[in-house]
Chain A
Amino acid sequence: MEWWQFNGYGFYIWGSYLVAAAALAIESALLAARRARALRQLGDSIEADGAR
């Protein structure tokens, strides 16, 4: 049996590690998106105040 199949436990082991990696990747992507949104809103707010 191949190494990556882990004696038939491959589904459970890879299922654990891939979901954990996906969760961390999603969290990092959401953080990047939140920061971009916050900076854009701050920029808009500064621009709006300058236009007044």
Chain B
Amino acid sequence: MNWFKYSSPASFYPVAGKVYPWFFAAAMILFVVALYVGFAVAPTDAQQGESYRIMFVHVATATLSMFLYVVMALWCASSLVFNTRLSAMMAQAIAPTGAWFTFIALWTGALWGKPTWGTYWVWDARITSELILLFLYGGFLALTQAIEDPRRADRAGALLALVGVINVPIIYFSVRWWNTLHQGASITVSAAPKIAQPMLVALFAMMLAFWAYAIAAALRRVRCIIVERESGSDWLRALKRQGTL
């Protein structure tokens, strides 16, 4: 199978259209499972009481906000190195979803912070670097939309995204590098989880749900971007005339 075939917008467009509904359906099912386990099965936390249930959505979106930025930066690097149109389109398709997830992570973090720390906001290293991530997403979106020539916009956005990727390890390691109010990780690859199994199931189901949603949203958006940017191409016009767009 020649995977490079799918680096062409003409080949990728129909594949994305076929695949994204499955990811969206998987996301909806996983959201229902995560909410059921998280709200009805998982016990009350011994230390945090009920407020810990915010963690299911907070940890999932915060983790994905970082991961999506890295994926976006990889597409940007691919766009610069291979000069492929689809790579830049994918980066631009991921950015808004990454920004939404960062916003949700900050919002839910604030709502968790009030009952736990006594404040909605503190200029803690983890929270501040996550806020910078939101600005980086916003900057990338603003820059790519402000430049009229799409190829120049792609290159400028790619450079910004690649410079900004340095912020991701800063967010991740901030709780180790600085004496922060934000707690460290309860789940690591090297050690057994410190939380009860139903909590773990709810958290992983929520993470998978947000993953599936992010893929579906990015694929839907990249199809929009392809239609916007390839509107002069024969293949797109042929699909439109056939009514199969």
Partner-B contacts on A (CB < 8 A): 6-7, 9, 12-13, 15-17, 19-20, 23-24, 27-28, 31, 34-35, 38-39, 41-43, 45-46
Contacts and interface: CB of A to CB of B under 8 A. Distances in A.
Contact of B224 (A6, A9, A23, A31): A31
B97 interface: yes
A13 B50 contact: yes
Interface residues of B, number: 36
Give the interface SS of chain A, mostly helix, strand, loop or mixed.
Answer: helix
B53 A6 contact: yes
Nearest to B116: A12
Nearest to B107: A19
Nearest to A32: B220
Closest 9 CB pairs of A and B: A6-B50, A38-B227, A16-B108, A9-B50, A12-B111, A9-B51, A16-B54, A34-B224, A20-B104
Question: B interface, by DSSP: helix, strand, loop or mixed?
Answer: helix
A38 B51 contact: no
Contacts of A35: 220, 223-224, 227
B44 to A, nearest CB: 8
Contacts of A43: 240
Contacts of A6: 50-51, 53
A48 B152 CA distance: 28
16 contacts: A6-B50, A7-B49, A9-B50, A12-B111, A13-B54, A16-B58, A16-B111, A19-B108, A23-B104, A27-B97, A31-B217, A31-B224, A38-B231, A39-B245, A45-B232, A46-B241
B228 A38 contact: yes
A47 to B, nearest CB: 10
Nearest to A12: B111
